[in-house]
Amino acid sequence: MELPPIDLTNAETQREQIKNNKSFVRRYWMFFGGCGVLVIGLLFWTFYASPHVSATKISDKTFVKNANVICAQAMPKLNKQQLAKNENISNTQLVSRVRTTADSIGVLRNDLSVVAVQPTDQSAVNDWIGNWTAYVDAGYRYADALAAGDKKQWMRIGNESETYSQRITAFAFVNHITSCELKTVVPARSGI
């Protein structure tokens, strides 16, 4: 860092320039010190605090291709069932929409579960299908909690379903089944 030159011809000017230079240096170190703390915090979050979801890589390219086709056909319908940001519907309508979404995801899960897969990849695909099953089940339980007006329960189930969603998406991402990545397809309500 290069400081501006100090004019030594006048004592008053000299004191003012030194004061300005100290202020500049202080601001400089505060800015870059703050940036350093931010970077360290982000690194900590990335490697230690953020939830990490791992997924098994499969080698069956035919399964990947077929799963992509199935999801590409199903996802547009699922995404249309999502609540718009400012959409205001009754609790009864929301419960109905959540159940309809869970039904649609169940059909997608069933379609994916019958796709042929190489024996070496069967276990990983079964785990993935199991996460789809758990996600569908969570959708129905979420609808039941909404219908009962049990906010504590629907919040807990919503968080639980996020775990399954992350697992489904991680597997899809790692295996290039991009059309099966979930972008939050279940209509949600944080409060009623």
pLDDT at residue 82, rounded to an integer: 72
- Answer yes or no: pTM beyond 0.85: no
Backbone angles phi, psi at 177, to 5 degrees: -100, 65
Distance CA 82, CA 69 (A): 21
Give the residue with greater pLDDT, 22 vs 73.
73
pLDDT at residue 133, rounded to an integer: 96
Of the ranges 14-28, 64-78, 110-124, 128-142, which one carries the lowest mean pLDDT score?
14-28
Distance CA 136, CA 129 (A): 11
pLDDT band at 183 (very low <50, low <70, confident <90, very high): confident
Closest by Cα among 97, 127, 60 to 135:
127
